[in-house]
A and B are shown apart, each in its own frame.
Chain A
């Protein structure tokens, strides 16, 4: 027991020393360590600006504006500060609550003229004897591409001094750039959604043509089978073109792949062999919609189209602790890794001719980009291939990722 006791004391003192060191570092990095008045001022301005930036980055909404106005007022050093969008007042902090009508009217004028203005006592007349408001500076907020999206109003108890005007203009300029960034964020999301839509549209042309010809060949000889295939095809398109949801489960994706392969089997017959090895534990894993099927499509195209005899496509999904490892493999002709990289590079740069394999490149790089944008940069696709030795594409999917949810 004596040995244990000393071990406990040792561990405890180690932990205490460690936390003390951490605390000391945290304090040193705090404002105490800043030496000169200039440094402190820089720190305070940047800190306040950072606090204001956060709500602004969510866009110009009443709730965000209310949070930002508080910090922007500190930044400008005015007695009151208001934010407006193009036609009404969103939030006001500090003085000037009974001047909202006049202020928003002035803001509308500023937005229309795209020029800042200074309001004097005459323009802010009111019937309250004790009203301290003497002036205001109104500056436009220029968002992305210089479009005016709102106005920033600084209210003062004094005749607006040149210093206040300057501070207001600079702050409005800075806030405008934050709003532009917000717009950029949302446009990036829109772009990602558009890519998914593009992928859905992309599946169709070849496959639809081939599927319909294959089904057509059965209409006379085996009408029952043709009917089943058309139903499978209908179900397949329903899933692929479904409008809602960015995510799906592995089980559902597999179901769709099954329909796809049923149709391909009608076309290729026994030439197409499929091997599946799916750990049942990972079936509920959530993954981006249509991120496995393009890989299977590629495998079918590559495993069969340019070689005689049968082709084998195998799909494996394995449980790996907090992740799921999925691989899609074919034993087809493979390709030169250099060609694949060059093709993807050409696609990314949008220069040059992507060549005959462009479909493959688009499919792979689209899946790769979407996996990276959802799960993070280290979750991209891994492609192993060589001329004459088949292709193997693998991906890792975390079982849980904040913000990823099937059917939402």
Chain B
């Protein structure tokens, strides 16, 4: 793994990010011209910034890894990650901007006038933020371990330290310019190597992605197993492997079937049968619900909408985000598919999340092109960790410093940042066995079962009360949180309990909606007196208020 270009590329990305954060405003906006100084952020820039903050390690690494491992079933992940903005566009974007709320707790206070509900929302924002930060750090550890051969904790600690220091010292306060830059960097880092990979695939005579006899090793390969699994060898024997085992395969030898992985052509190419295993129809619907409805509850995405001058601009921004994010998600799929041809050893080793960073060198060879492409992909991956973690950390530290530590000073914000960055780092160092995308999927599930009902009902239904909202968040969100904790930290489960906890959204989201509506109807007396005025503020077109 001696790619000497990877580390310089990563360092360059980090330095550029930090430098633009600190000096970008000074260079770009120091002027004596008021027209320049009061130019608002255009929807296109803001959309690129949202994209930059949103496309995380899960999107950059995880989606390709899942496609490699499970096949077409998991295409719902990229589809859902992008389509979440459709729900945001339809139900939330413009009214939320018109409300003037900056964070989700702000929205609670504004709509329902309850300090307690605000506190509850704060707790959920922190939980979702942390849950989302863990896979980012995990991805960083994995990338650095794979490409530079460092131990797993190094990458996680490096990213956590860089981001925490940067945010605490004020270098990364939602700087639109930096985040927009990160989006285009990520897109380039995946798109350019993808073109080369496609050309290489052509040149190799378009090897079949799913040959009838299953995937084979193209070259002699030694695999170091990272996850415990049961292998079914071609001659029918089974063999249990443990982390650390080394297996050697000759060129042309078929890849053994690995337990829990869609190895054979039909498993990979066809949706899995409902009920036959953990990822049945229920899990798919759950995933769709979580990703479609969870996006609107992500703290770092919502704060960016405040930058828009009005509701119409917020809506336009969302539309552009939908396009940008949609384009991006085509690429990881290509990596996952080509990974079956060029890096089948990952199926055996279990490190499928590393397919994006390993594929360029595996397919293009260790020549200059291959190494350059690998470095580019690594830089893009680091951009993903940095931008998403910065956005999340800023949001979480913001709510901690205002709502937990009290109306904070700069020092309070710094303390909050260290607190907000330290805890996910500890968690990331202790859970390394989970798929990056799955943890992110869980964060979406929690957001979909707590904030989605709150936002949708709060914006579109007059009858919502603070008691109803609190009950809905506690029951629905609490159920999702419990499911997450059981999945991440609890004992391994099988059958229905495993599905219900690994993909909880399909039962927790309806539960949250039902409880919220029922309790609101039961406590009708508590409807805020100024509901009508708040509703007017949320829904009246911007031009009417000038």
Contacts from A to B (Cβ < 8 Å)? 1, 4-5, 7-8, 251, 254-255, 257-258, 261, 273-281, 283-284, 286, 318-322, 376, 378, 398-400, 402, 404-408
Contact A400 B103 (CB under 8 A): yes
Q: Which residues of B contact A319 (CB under 8 A)?
A: 173-175
Nearest-Cβ distance from residue A187 to partner chain B, whole angstroms = 23
Given contacts A275-B32, A321-B401, A321-B413, contact A399 B170 (CB under 8 A): no
Show 16 A/B contacts (Cβ-Cβ < 8 Å), sorted by A. Answer: A1-B491, A8-B490, A257-B34, A273-B32, A274-B32, A276-B34, A276-B36, A278-B38, A280-B307, A283-B40, A286-B100, A322-B102, A376-B407, A378-B407, A400-B101, A400-B110
Stretch from B23-31, B56-64, B458-466 contacting the other chain: B23-31
B32 touches A405 (CB 8 A): no
Select one of A5, A376, A400 contacting B489, CB under 8 A.
Answer: A5
Q: Is the CB of A284 within 8 A of B309?
A: yes
Q: Residue on A with the closest CB to B113?
A: A402
Across-interface contacts of B40 in A (CB, < 8 A)? 251, 280, 283-284
Q: A-facing mask of B287-316, CB < 8 A → 1, else 0?
A: 000000000000000000011110000000
Report A-chain residues with C-beta under 8 Å of the C-beta of B41. Answer: 280-281, 283
Contact with A along B12-51 (1 / 0, CB 8 A): 0000000000000110011111101111110000000000
Cα distance, A408 to B407, chains bound together (Å):
25
| Interface residue? B397 (CB, 8 A) | yes
Q: Interface readout for B388-411 with A: 1 if CB under 8 Å, 0 if not?
A: 000000100111011000010010
- Complex-state Cα separation, A408 to B36, whole angstroms: 28
Tell me, yes or no, whether B430 is within 8 Å of chain A by CB: yes
Q: Quick check: B398 and A321 within 8 Å, CB to CB?
A: yes
Q: Could you tell me the distance between the alpha carbons of A319 and B25 in the complex, rounded to whole angstroms?
A: 10
Chain B residues near A255 (CB-CB < 8 A):
34, 38
List of A residues within 8 angstroms of B212 by Cβ: none
Shortest Cβ gap from A293 to chain B (Å)? 13
B174: which A residues are within 8 A, CB to CB? 281, 319, 321
Q: Please measure, in the bound complex, the distance between the C-alpha atom of A173 and the C-alpha atom of B413, giving whole angstroms.
A: 49
> Interface 1/0s, chain B 71-105, versus A by CB < 8 A?
00000000000000000000000000000111100
In B226-240, the 8 Å CB interface with A consists of none
The closest CB in chain B to the CB of A4 belongs to: B489
Chain A hits for B102, CB < 8 A? 322, 399-400
- Contact assessment for B30 and A276 in the assembled complex, using a CB-CB cutoff below 8 Å: yes
| Closest-CB distance, B436 to chain A (whole angstroms) | 18
How far apart are A178's CB and chain B's nearest CB, in angstroms? 20
A251 to B35 CA separation, bound complex (whole angstroms): 10
The answer to whether B398 touches A280, judged by C-beta atoms less than 8 angstroms apart, is no
Checking A275, A321, A378 against B394 with a beta-carbon cut-off of 8 angstroms, the contacting residue is: A321
| B267 in the interface (beta carbon within 8 A) | no
B interface list, Cβ under 8 A from A: 25-26, 29-34, 36-41, 100-103, 106, 109-110, 113, 170, 173-176, 306-309, 394, 397-399, 401-402, 407, 410, 413, 430-431, 485, 489-492, 537, 545-546
Asked if B100 contacts A406 (CB within 8 A), the reply is yes
Complex Cα distance, B546 from A382, in Å, reads 32
Cα A407 to Cα B100 with chains together (Å): 12
Residues of B within 8 A of A318 (CB): 25, 173
Query: CA separation between A281 and B308, bound complex, in Å?
Result: 8
A-B contact count (CB 8 A): 117
Contact B307 A281 (CB under 8 A): yes
The reply to whether B100 and A405 contact each other, CB–CB distance below 8 Å, is yes
State the Cβ distance, A100 to closest chain B Cβ, in Å.
26
Task: Kindly report which residue of chain A lies nearest to residue B39, judged by CB atoms.
Answer: A280
Q: Name which residue of chain A comes closest to B542, CB basis.
A: A407
Q: Is the CB of B38 within 8 A of A283?
A: yes
Residue from A5, A284, A407 in contact with B545 in the complex, judged by beta carbons closer than 8 Å = A407
Cα distance, A75 to B38, chains bound together (Å): 59
Bound complex: CA of A231 vs CA of B33, how far in Å? Answer: 19
Most A C-beta atoms less than 10 A away, residue of B100, B113, B175: B100
Closest A residue to B42 by beta carbon equals: A280
Chain A residue contacts of B113, Cβ below 8 A: 402
Considering the complex, give the chain A residue whose CB is closest to the CB of B31: A276
Residues of A within 8 A of B32 (CB): 273-276
Which residues on the B side are within 8 Å of A8 (C-beta)? 485, 489-490
- For residue B545, which residues in chain A have a CB less than 8 angstroms away from its CB? 407
CA distance A280 to B176 in the complex (A): 8
Q: Is there an interface contact between A400 and B100, defined as CB atoms closer than 8 Å?
A: yes
Residues of chain A lying within 8 A (CB to CB) of residue B307: 280-281, 284
Contact partners of A274 in chain B: CB under 8 A: 32
Q: A8-B490, A279-B175, A286-B100 are in contact. List 9 more A-B contacts (CB 8 A).
A: A1-B491, A4-B431, A277-B30, A320-B170, A321-B173, A321-B174, A398-B402, A402-B109, A405-B537
Whether the pair A284, B489 counts as a contact (CB closer than 8 A) is: no
- The chain A residue with its CB closest to the CB of B397 is A321
- Please determine whether A400 and B106 come into contact, CB atoms closer than 8 angstroms: yes
For B109, what are the chain A residues with a Cβ–Cβ distance below 8 Å? 402
Is the beta-carbon distance between A276 and B37 smaller than 8 angstroms? yes
Q: Is the CB of B491 within 8 A of A5?
A: yes
| CB-defined contacts of A376 to chain B, threshold 8 Å | 407
CB < 8 Å neighbour of B29 from A258, A278, A400: A278
Question: What's the Cα separation between A405 and B97 when bound, in Å?
Answer: 12
* Chain A CB within 10 Å, residue with most, of B34, B394, B546: B34
Known: A1-B492, A273-B32, A322-B401. A279 touches B38 (CB 8 A): no
For residue A273, which residues in chain B have a CB less than 8 angstroms away from its CB? 32
CB neighbours of A402 from chain B (8 A): 109-110, 113
Query: Which residue of chain A has its CB nearest to the CB of B40?
Result: A283
Nearest-CB distance from A261 to chain B (Å)? Answer: 8
Closest-by-CB residue of B relative to A8 is B489
A322's partner among B402, B431, B492 (CB-CB below 8 A) is B402
Determine if B103 and A322 form an interchain contact, defined as CB atoms under 8 angstroms apart: yes
Q: Is the CB of A277 within 8 A of B26?
A: yes
Q: A321 to B32, alpha carbons, bound, how many Å?
A: 26
Task: Give the CA-CA distance A284 to B304 in the complex, in Å.
Answer: 12
Residues B489 and A7 in contact, CB atoms below 8 Å apart? yes
A378 contacts across to B, CB distance below 8 A: 407
| Min C-beta distance of B10 to chain A, whole Å | 27
Residue of B nearest to A320 (CB): B173
Are B546 and A407 in contact, CB atoms less than 8 angstroms apart? yes
| Nearest A-chain residue to B410, judged by Cβ | A320
**Minimum-distance CB pairs A-B, first 7:** A258-B34, A276-B37, A321-B398, A400-B102, A399-B102, A400-B106, A278-B37
Least distance between B434 CB and chain A CB atoms (Å): 12
Per the bound structure, the CA–CA distance linking A322 and B399 in Å amounts to 8
Which residues of A sit under 8 angstroms from B431, Cβ to Cβ?
A: 4
* A259 vs B228: C-alpha distance when bound (angstroms): 71
Chain A hits for B38, CB < 8 A = 251, 254-255, 258, 278, 283
A299 to B62, CA, bound (A): 54
- Complex CA gap A4/B308 in Å reads 43
Contacts of A261 in B (CB 8 A): 34
